[in-house]
Amino acid sequence: MPSYEAWNEARAREIIARERDGEGTTLPILHALQAVFGCVPAQAVPLMAEALNLSRAELHGIVSFYHEFRRVPPGRHVLRLCRAEACQSVGADALGAHARARLDVDWHGTSADGAVTLEPVFCLGLCACGPAALLDGQPLARLDPAKLDAALEAAG
């Protein structure tokens, strides 16, 4: 189970300084921040903008362009459920509806108990054995509602 650190400016500066070496390192820095804080905290944007000599507006434009960067940390578990065509052909739409009903959230939402964040994903490269998902980075295949429920229960 992933655990994230609370906002800490010194820690953010350290990550930015560590990752900024090299060419065009905006994305590596953003990934490193999200790995530590669970999201790209709003407070990190001006620090990064300064380090990269970009305006805050430019950096906001970059962070918000990419689907994967979150504004707030996720729940204790992240379920990335594939919604793309190959998984659709074997029941992904129904599985997505089941997941949303079970967790009582829409896509990108976190269940009320903070246990699971449900994120849509368009292809995990597991197209020969769909419907597929990543639960906390672990691949799941040939899912149906019962198998998905079991995986979520095992995760706790």
Partner 1 sequence: MTRVFVPRDAAALALGADAVAAALAPHATVVRTGSRGLFWLEPMIEVETPQGRTAYGPVEAADIPALLTSGVLTGGAHPKRLGRPEEIPFLARQTRLTFARCGVVDPLSPGDYEAQGGWAGLRRALEIGPAATLAEVTASGLRGRGGAGFPTGIKWKTTADAAGARKYVVCNADEGDSGTYADRMLLEGDPFALIEGMAIAAYAVGASAGYVYTRSEYPHAIATFDAALRIARDAGLLGRDVLGAGFAFDITQRVGAGAYICGEETSLLESLEGRRGQVRAKPPLPAHKGLFGMPTVVNNLITLATVPTILASGAQAYHDLGMGRSRGTMPIQLAGNLRFAGLFEAGFGLTLGELVHDIGGGTRSGRPVRAVQVGGPLGAYFPPALFDTRFDYESFAARDGMIGHGGVVVFDDTVDLARQARFAMEFCAAESCGKCTPCRIGSVRGQEVIDRVLAGTEVDANLELLRDLCETMRFGSLCALGGFIPYPVLSAMNHFPEDFRPSARAAAA
Q: Are 81 and 118 within 8 A, CB to CB? A: yes
Q: How near is the Cβ of 87 to partner 1 at its closest, in Å?
A: 7
Nearer Cβ to partner 1 (79/132): 132
Q: Are 92 and 130 within 8 A, CB to CB? A: yes
Question: How far is residue 140 from each of residues 8, 53, 59, 134, 145, measured CA to CA in Å?
Answer: 34, 41, 34, 6, 12
Nearer Cβ to partner 1 (3/6): 3
* Residue entry with tokens 């998984």: 87
Q: How near is the Cβ of 125 to partner 1 at its closest, in Å?
A: 4
Nearer Cβ to partner 1 (8/120): 120
Q: Enumerate binding residues for partner 1 (CB under 8 A).
A: 22-28, 30-31, 52, 61-62, 65-69, 80, 84-90, 121-130, 132, 134, 137-142
CB atoms within 10 A of CB 135: 19
Q: How near is the Cβ of 42 to partner 1 at its closest, in Å?
A: 18
Q: How near is the Cβ of 123 to partner 1 at its closest, in Å?
A: 5
